[in-house]
Structure 1
């Protein structure tokens, strides 16, 4: 488990699959905006969220994102499931990977995405020893672009009309972050802890 300021990235549990499937995969438009693969109807036991339970792929690291909350009857372990995150396309020769995340609708707009990006960067750079992380996101995904910029990512390019999203081609931004630029310098010239 890797801890951020407000979120934890942990391994996928079987109980996570149905929640993620209901909240993320069954939203066809949302899935189309978040994943380059087409949406197809599937049973929860065969959902794309189950692959993290079985044999992990060598070129990907899948996490369940949970928000740290006070212990209550609804959250007896002090966690509230809020989404998924991953490093994918991990290239050990060139020491790079792509970063992605999807938050449940109830978790969006609360600043959690920035914390998830920070924790994924820590995992990629500190734990995996990668040299470069990249985010490919839709041009109009303002929340992801803002979270990436807050974490030190810079815009490196635009792929015009490269993403087929629910009946139209949309532009994608390419954002990159190098290990030597992480963690980003905070206001006042220090790298906060």
Structure 2
């Protein structure tokens, strides 16, 4: 397990999936987090979110756990891993019951360590909706720089929203450490 101050990142366990499906797949959360329209999934479906295929290249999925009590706190991933350009994207989703505890900032920090130290990447990127203040705050607290805004880039529940692109280079990360 990779650990931060408040959270740990571990492999996804089979018993995590029903909890995540219950709490992180409502229509608004799905649309905001994935940019895809919500749809229902049959229990046990291989296509349902949060199922992990460990053979898939370019993505690493984690379950986030609260170090204080070991409870499942959410999900995190490093995706779009490009070994040639040494870049990747990161994302996370926290259960409603743990939001506001500083976990997002800690998850981003641990994902940065994982990307830069374990994978030897040189750049990490986050894309998030412009009104996602908690994610923007977590990224900026970890040294990410706002690099641009894609206007009306995401269709979310009947309206177009702006998307913010944030980036962090390994040298900036090292200098801040």
TM over 0.5: yes
Distance 1:68 1:158 in 2: 35
TM-score of the superposition, structure 2-length normalised?
A: 0.95
Query: Structure 1 residue 30: deviation in Å?
Result: 1.1
Native 8 Å contact 2:27 2:37 kept in 1 = no
Runs of 4+ in structure 1 deviating by more than 4 angstroms, as ranges, are none
Query: Structure 1 residue 184: deviation in Å?
Result: 5.6
Residue 72 of structure 1 corresponds to which residue in structure 2?
A: none
Distance 1:49 1:81 in 2: 13
Residue 6 of structure 1 corresponds to which residue in structure 2?
A: 6
TM-score of the superposition, structure 1-length normalised?
A: 0.88
Query: Structure 1 residue 40: deviation in Å?
Result: 1.1
Larger radius of gyration: 1
Instruction: Determine helix, strand or coil for the equivalent of 2:62.
Output: strand
Distance 1:58 1:134 in 2: 18
Residue 21 of structure 1 corresponds to which residue in structure 2?
A: 21
Residue 49 of structure 1 corresponds to which residue in structure 2?
A: 50
Aligned pairs for 1:9-158 within 5 A: 9-25=9-25, 27-46=26-45, 47-50=48-51, 52=52, 54-69=53-68, 78-158=69-149
Distance 2:99 2:54 in 1: 30
CA shift digits 1:33-72 (9 cap, x unpaired): 111222211023222111x1x3331110000000112xxx
Number of residue equivalences: 175
CA shift digits 1:52-100 (9 cap, x unpaired): 1x3331110000000112xxxxxxxx41101000011111111101110
